[in-house]
């Protein structure tokens, strides 16, 4: 962990940088890392971890964006291309075009790929959500989907978010189509089927608002402990980390990561961004930088925290403004692909 003195120096430097950006041309704002300096991916690799960024298919057509993504990071996650609506748009008819495009891009750039995701309550195809299924029918559909998708990407992804966002904020199970029809056993089933399709890939549960110790993360702790006791293949827990300055930093984040690691599973920060109420200013960006440093520190402090993935690296393609009106500026690069203080805070922590 960094000392208070170093943290204070970082904040001062961030404020000074923002003051300089106010008068510097935007085109030069992101050039303070020398080309010979190690990238975030390289710095993370020195700690035995990865540092990645999600990408969606349309973004690959933005050549400067895609080129920087390939140069700065060592891992990526498809934002949408591997979700159910994309991979099985009709029952039993699979389409891997979008996912394959990102896998091929990653291979060309030397990036590892996290698979995201095998089941979720959103972005399901109409044929699935509009159907009336018995328990056995839906189990068969779910098994077939997971088996086909995991086998297709066998050896091409190193981890899968198998079950995504399956808990409510109070720690009860989300009543998605799978829970309502099959019951909670669908979670263990999904993990077993994914393992059978690719015994080497790492299998994760993944959710948001689980970075702090609280009812939701407690529920996952209990679930993972029970899955382990029942010898269900579960390798990791993904903390999305969609944070917001106005809600405060997650309580006891490092301790929370550690308690999951103590269960014998890996932990990954899977979808990191830190939004703010717009407009941004020097003080907000300095605080954001401090938080990015704290998240990185928390991961580095726990041996089984294996890596960090940003949910997109630049405000140019961020999902935040479209979902949270009046909020944004959530990522370490701005709309012009220039570094913000958050980038320097991450680098400092990784060093």
* Residue 165: active-site member: yes
Nearest to 123 by CA among 181, 182, 165: 165
Cβ(216)–Cβ(207) under 8 Å? yes
**Residue 232 to residues 119, 150, 158, 201, 229, Cα–Cα distance (Å):** 17, 17, 19, 14, 8
Q: Which of 59, 165, 211, 348 is catalytic?
A: 165
* Residue 271: active-site member: yes
Strand partners, 242: 273
Per-residue pLDDT of the chain (351 residues; tens, 9 = 90+): 333 333 433 444 444 433 333 333 333 334 455 667 999 999 999 999 999 999 999 999 999 999 999 999 999 999 999 999 999 999 999 999 999 999 999 999 999 999 999 999 999 999 999 999 999 999 999 999 999 999 999 999 999 999 999 999 999 999 999 999 999 999 999 999 999 999 999 999 999 999 999 999 999 999 999 999 999 999 999 999 999 999 999 999 999 999 999 999 999 999 999 999 999 999 999 999 999 999 999 999 999 999 999 999 999 999 999 999 999 999 999 999 999 999 999 999 999
**Residue 303 to residues 3, 113, 348, Cα–Cα distance (Å):** 20, 21, 19
Q: Tokens for 108? A: 């060309």
Number of Cα atoms under 13 Å in the Cβ half of residue 148: 17
Q: Which of 271, 327, 335, 348 is catalytic?
A: 271
């Amino acid at each position: 962990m960094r000392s208070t003195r170093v943290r204070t120096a970082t904040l001062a430097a961030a404020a000074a940088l923002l003051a300089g950006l106010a008068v510097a041309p935007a085109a030069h704002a992101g050039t303070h890392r020398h080309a010979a300096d190690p990238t975030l991916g390289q710095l993370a690799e020195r700690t035995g971890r990865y540092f990645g960024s999600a990408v969606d298919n349309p973004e690959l057509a933005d050549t400067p964006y895609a080129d920087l993504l390939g140069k700065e990071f060592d891992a990526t996650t498809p934002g949408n291309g591997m979700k159910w609506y994309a991979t099985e748009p009709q029952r039993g008819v699979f389409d891997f075009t979008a996912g394959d495009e990102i896998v091929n891009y990653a291979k060309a750039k030397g990036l590892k790929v996290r698979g995201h995701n095998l089941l979720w309550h959103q972005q399901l195809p109409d044929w699935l959500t509009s159907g009336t299924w018995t328990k056995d029918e839906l189990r068969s559909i779910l098994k077939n989907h997971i088996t086909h998708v995991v086998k297709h990407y066998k050896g091409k992804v190193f981890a899968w978010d198998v079950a995504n966002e399956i808990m409510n904020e109070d720690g009860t199970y989300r009543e998605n189509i799978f829970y309502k029809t099959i019951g909670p056993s669908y979670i263990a089933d999904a993990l077993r089927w994914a393992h059978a399709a690719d015994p080497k890939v790492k299998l994760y549960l993944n959710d948001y608002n689980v970075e702090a110790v609280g009812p939701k993360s407690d529920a996952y702790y209990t679930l993972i402990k029970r899955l382990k006791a029942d010898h269900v293949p579960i390798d990791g827990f993904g903390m999305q980390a969609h944070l917001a300055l106005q809600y405060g930093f997650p309580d006891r984040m490092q301790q929370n990561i550690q308690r999951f690691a103590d269960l014998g599973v890996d932990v990954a920060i899977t979808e990191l961004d830190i939004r703010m109420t717009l407009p941004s200013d020097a003080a907000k960006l300095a605080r954001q930088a401090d938080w990015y440093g704290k998240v990185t520190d928390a991961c580095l402090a726990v041996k089984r925290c294996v890596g960090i993935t940003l949910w997109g690296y630049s405000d140019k393609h961020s999902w935040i403004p479209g979902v949270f009106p009046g909020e944004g500026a959530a990522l370490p690069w701005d709309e012009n692909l220039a570094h913000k203080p958050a980038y320097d805070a991450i680098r400092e922590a990784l060093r």
